[in-house]
Amino acid sequence: MAEVELRNISKSFDGVFALNNVSMTIPDGAFVVLLGPTGAGKTTTLRMVSGLDKPDRGDVLVNGHSLAGLTPAQRNVAMVFQQYSLYPHLTVYENLAFPLRSPLLKTSEEDIKVKVSRVAETLQIAHKLDNKATALSGGEMQRVSIGRALVRSPELYLMDEPLSSLDAKLRADLRIELKSIQADSGATVLYVTHDQIEAMTMATHVGVLNEGKLIQFGSPREIYEDPVDIYAASRLGQPRINILPADLFGHAPTGATSIGLRPEQIHQGEGQESLVTRVEHLGDQTRLHLSLKDHDLTTVTDAHTQLAAGDIVRISPQNPFFFDAAGDRIH
């Protein structure tokens, strides 16, 4: 049982805010994905919770108890590092056993063996257990790094882009695997990525971070369907949301400077004439690149469309998002 609360966390490095007054409550058993570009403060958030860094201001609470002053070991969290950080002088087996042998857990060697081989099985690295950690490929290192977190059963997992250097198939497998491990154990997970598919498929909650500020926190659907600003709207959705001048289609609400159109918010067949500049057949869908009054936009159309470059398509907005000059949403 671990409900994690970040309360007004601020942290700056050399006078630059890495986190600026971030508050969020992570319910017990939630799978929270932090989304944002490099430098948004995602990793810093994990380090605050883990205890590797101390916040300048604010507090991290687990089940209502402040973690201030506790060492990382005392916090009983497992963390997957982006840089793998496997112990280079140990074998894969010893790496996986390392947290179990800590003075914190003091697991018997038999239990270690059982747990390590189970995790190695899950992560498909059982045949590499006797290898030196340095004699692995990047993907294998990353799996060992994930395994080192999974052998433990902490209340809270912190994962910093754990799937970033895996190939597409393994990434898809492990996405499902991680999600089911989390669902089975009921552990709380705080997960950093900039891959929106990971966010959409795994998260119960998504936190959108930008320049150290938490822009929006909610379920993936909520953020997709009801973004608070242009930035949050741009984080999710493939192809990306089209941001265009608000009056392109006429009748914009007062104060609106931009209109945001996701592919499903673009109705095809009536409205303004736009020129098809490119057609991309992706198999399950087809992407249309359109040009409307010198503005480029991208949308999705029927997989078996007969449209080709040079054709004219009529489009009109359907329940679009409007944003003001600062980028905030206008309802």
Partner 1 sequence: MSFSVTEPTIRTKWFAGTAVILYAVITILPLMWIVATGFKSPADSIAYPPKVVFEPTLEGYVNLFTTRTRLAEGDMAALPPAETWYEKIVRDQGQIISGPSRYGERFLNSVIIGFGSTVLCMVLGTAAAYAFSRFRVPLKDDLLFFILSTRMMPPIAVAIPIFLMFRQLGLNDTHLGMILLYTAVNLSLSVWLLKGFIDEIPVEYEEAALIDGYTRFQAFYKVVLPQAATGIASTAIFCLIFAWNEYAFAVLLTSGTAQTAPPFIPTIIGVGGKDWPAVAAGATIFLVPVMVFTILLRKHLLRGITFGAVRK
By the criterion CB under 8 A, which residues form the site for partner 1? 50-52, 71-73, 76-79, 81, 83, 85, 87-89, 98-99, 102-105, 148
Instruction: Kindly state the smallest distance separating residue 55's Cβ from partner 1, in Å.
Output: 17
* Shortest distance, position 45 Cβ to partner 1, whole Å: 15
For residue 58 the two structure tokens come to: 């604010």
Given the complex with partner 1, which of 47 and 235 has the nearer CB atom?
A: 47
Closest CA to 116 of 142, 132, 94: 94
φ/ψ of residue 4, rounded to 5: -105, 135
- Residue appearing with tokens 């040079």: 310
What gap in Å lies between CA 51 and CA 60, rounded to an integer?
Answer: 9
CA distances for 229 relative to 88, 206, 208, 246, 260, angstroms: 44, 15, 11, 14, 10
> In this complex, which beta carbon is closest to partner 1, that of residue 50 or of residue 193?
50
* Cβ nearer to partner 1, comparing 17 with 98: 98
Minimum CB distance to partner 1, residue 59 (Å): 20
Please say which residue, 70 or 330, places its beta carbon nearer to partner 1. Answer: 70
Least distance in Å: CB of 255 to partner 1? 47
Nearer to partner 1, 102 or 137 (CB): 102
Taking the C-alpha atoms of residue 23 and residue 25, their distance in angstroms, rounded to an integer, is: 7
| Minimum distance from residue 147 beta carbon to partner 1 (Å) | 12
Burial 97-109 (b: 16+ CB within 10 A, else e): bebbeeeeeebee
Q: Which is nearer to partner 1, 115 or 329 (CB)?
A: 115
Nearest distance from C-beta of residue 89 to partner 1, angstroms: 4
Q: What is the CA radius of gyration of the chain?
A: 23
